Amino acid sequence: MLLSACVNNKEKNDAVQYSGNPIFEGWYADPEAIVYDDQYWIFPTYSDLYEKQVFFDCFSSPDLVNWTKHENILDTAEVKWAKIAMWAPGVIEKDGKYYFFFAANDIQNEDETGGIGVAVSDRPEGPYKDLLGKPLINEIVNGAQPIDQFVYKENDSTYYMFYGGWRHCNVVLLNNDFTGIRPFPDGELYKEVTPQNYVEGPFMFKKDGKYYFMWSEGGWGGPDYKVAYAIADNPLGPFERIGTILEQDPEIATGAGHHSIIHNLKSDDWYIVYHRRPEPNIHRDHRVTCIDKMEFDENGYIKPVEMTFEGVAANPL
């Protein structure tokens, strides 16, 4: 299904096409953005009551402006242990396979089945198949609810997975077929790396030899949701909070957070993909996916992101 840019899509000088914000229709949150070959992809949470969060859609675009919707790429019919609250995809390609990490069931203790799962497909748009038939992580370790997983590739044999809600963040080492976790060199399976004010939604990227670790703060259901970051020399930190780079602007939207980052290597443009709450906000789950430019100052610090209605200019890969 090809989606035209949203109604607030603009053109400047009758030449440059802009994405508009939100970038596609529907209530979607927690967007994980990635580049696969010559396409931009966004894998979000379907934003609704927990009982209705039983499937995932995704979206692809050649230029950040024209988006194609791929429906029902994974659901509870395929993931037999998942019943509700399928959240916050984390995606990565490895050896020609596409892996889709997700959280399900909003578990509150280890007596409940749920947590972080993983699925696999031969194509980015799926359909995805449950890889394990059970959660990858069902435990509550260091006080971290097993949700909001992000997989960071350090090299071809080292894949870190950062995850955690309830104001705690853990990192684990995935084994090479993503069927489990393996110990760190010191023998630990889980390391807590929680930075100051962390709530949920971890994300990492590397630039100029430095590791940028990002997360969401505040309450996901309120207006003060926001994104902060740290810079470290090591992917395991320590992560000393630098400050906030994305937060509400009541003239545009509130509750801006749970983001991911896209880097167009060809043009060296950086983008932040995130959800926010339009004004007027009509429901707890009224969240939409947006994109804006992300820039750095001369010292490598991230400049505060300006939320816009126009979004970003077309930028084909």
Q: Which residues are catalytic?
A: 30, 200
Residue 242 contacts residue 229 (beta carbons within 8 Å):
yes
User: Phi/psi at 185 (nearest 5 deg)?
Assistant: -55, -25
Question: Residue 147 pairs with which residues in a beta bridge?
Answer: none
User: Phi/psi at 86 (nearest 5 deg)?
Assistant: -85, 115
User: Phi/psi at 31 (nearest 5 deg)?
Assistant: -75, 130
User: Phi/psi at 126 (nearest 5 deg)?
Assistant: 75, -165
Outline where the chain has alpha helix (H).
none
Q: What is the distance between the terminal CA atoms of the chain, rounded to a whole angstrom?
A: 21
Token pair in block for residue 293: 């430019």
- The letter for the amino acid at 14 is D
